Amino acid sequence: MHGTSGVGGLIGGTFGSAGVNPRGKVINAYATGVVTKTGGSTSVGGLVGSTGSGDRFTYKYTYWNNSVGSDTSVGLGGSGASQTGIGSKSTEQLYTQSTYEPLDSTWNFTPGTGDWFMAGYPVLQMEINHMK
Instruction: Write the pLDDT tens digit of every residue in 10-26.
Output: 887 776 655 566 677 88
Q: Are 31 and 74 in contact (CB under 8 A)?
A: no
Q: Which residues contact 71 (CB under 8 A, 6 or more apart)?
A: 35, 36, 37, 44
Q: With cut-offs at 50, 70 and 90, classify the pLDDT of residue 126.
A: confident
pLDDT the model gives residue 8: 83
Distance CA 17, CA 40 (A): 24
Please tell me whether the overall predicted TM-score, pTM, comes out greater than 0.85 for this model. Answer: no
